[in-house]
Amino acid sequence: MSPQALIDRLDSLEKAFADEIAPLSSEQDIRAAQARFLGKKGAVSEVMKQMGKLAPEDRKAVGQVANRVKASVEGEVARKLGELDEAARAADLSREVDVTLPGRARPRGHDHLLSQVRRDCVAIFTELGFDVAEGPQVETDWHNFEALGTGKDHPARDMQDTFYVGPDLVLRTHTSPVQIRTMLAEAPPIKIVAPGVVYRRDDDATHSPMFTQLEGLLVDREVRFSDLKGVLVHFVRRFFGQELDIRLRPSYFPFVEPGAEVDMQCAFCRRGDSGCRVCKGTGWVEIGGAGMVDPVVFEHVGYDPEAWTGFAFGMGPDRMAMLRHGVGDIKLLYDADLRFLRQF
């Protein structure tokens, strides 16, 4: 082809490109058109391949036109894409938004049943003037056992199957070590409750390896067993909202003397109906242990056992949650199944 024919061809390609992209309205189509003209096998490139055969001065003239056409195609592409961008932004801005429409509601969670029960329990005692105390879940053998009158060889160690995390470190088996920590830190009189998680190698429908307890400790002058009973009766009636009675059965804990197991009247059948699955027909359900603080415990924490007296109790809020809400298996409290938890 002659140099002039190549220049004419390039000029007509420039016009053809402008016509081709004028109606296009997507970036994808515009890029495809660009490739058909400027790509390796594109129309402009095909023309340029023929320039090799030209005399040097002709090659220069055709080359200049080719460069101009290339720049013009690229300029057209940029302009067209800019137009598309502008149109999209304008469409976005002119879209109507009804600001009076209600927003999308987010589902709301609520406290876990055990948190609710714990809060209810603590509230009943703070009303009576008790403070809230806390202690660590990984506890020393001394705080969990020794200081509570349970030496290394004491047979009562078998009463609680313990998870050991070191030679002298345990996952606390009850909240009673908080009694020790509180008395070591503060002088009497003392009036605290200590809610918290405890651990034992236990596992059935009413026993979980991790469960909660609520400890209570009151130390003052001339504290009597009847004070303990009065506080426990008040608590049970406030928590269950019924005139339920409690029963204190003589029992043994190394840190109280005398000690008792605390039973409450069955909140379901009240009288011990033979078919009641909660009390198994006895009319009573065990909810905790209690007693008068053993003088040996006062000695361990440096209180004068001649001057001070006290009572302590440890209850199982999990059991009380099960009783109040008719939950048949303690595992439901720890399974995190929303179908169960949403009911409370």
Place of tokens 């298996």: 329
Residue from the set 117, 291, 292, 322 that interacts with ligand FA5 by CB under 6 A: 291
Question: Is 150 near ligand FA5 (CB under 6 A)?
Answer: no
Ordered DSSP codes for 126-173: HHTTPEE----SEEEHHHHTGGGT--TT-GGGGGSPPPEEETTEEE-S
Q: Which span sits near ligand FA5 by CB under 6 A: 56-64, 78-86, 200-208, 271-279?
A: 200-208
Question: Is 284 near ligand FA5 (CB under 6 A)?
Answer: no
Question: Is 297 near ligand FA5 (CB under 6 A)?
Answer: no
Question: Is 228 near ligand FA5 (CB under 6 A)?
Answer: no
Cis peptide before 195 (omega within 30 of 0): no
Size of the site for ligand FA5 (CB under 6 A): 24
Residue from the set 176, 182, 265, 309 that interacts with ligand FA5 by CB under 6 A: 176
Burial of 315 per CB tally in 10 Å (0-12, 13-18, 19+) = buried
Residue from the set 125, 211, 235, 308 that interacts with ligand FA5 by CB under 6 A: 211
C-alpha distance from residue 287 to each of 86, 248, 329, 341 (Å): 73, 11, 16, 23
Closest CA to 148 of 232, 257, 250, 222: 257
Question: Is 290 near ligand FA5 (CB under 6 A)?
Answer: yes
Residue from the set 9, 80, 174, 300 that interacts with ligand FA5 by CB under 6 A: 174
Backbone angles phi, psi at 164, to 5 degrees: -90, 135
Residue from the set 213, 232, 248, 301 that interacts with ligand FA5 by CB under 6 A: 213
Residue from the set 10, 38, 287, 297 that interacts with ligand FA5 by CB under 6 A: 287
What single DSSP character describes residue 315? Answer: E
39-45: long-range contacts at Cβ-Cβ below 8 A with a sequence spacing of 24 or more? 43/13, 43/16, 44/10, 44/13, 44/69, 44/70, 44/73
Question: Is 253 near ligand FA5 (CB under 6 A)?
Answer: yes
Question: Is 288 near ligand FA5 (CB under 6 A)?
Answer: yes
**Contact residues for ligand FA5, defined by CB under 6 A:** 174, 176, 200, 202, 207-208, 211, 213, 253, 256, 259, 286-291, 312-314, 316, 318-319, 330
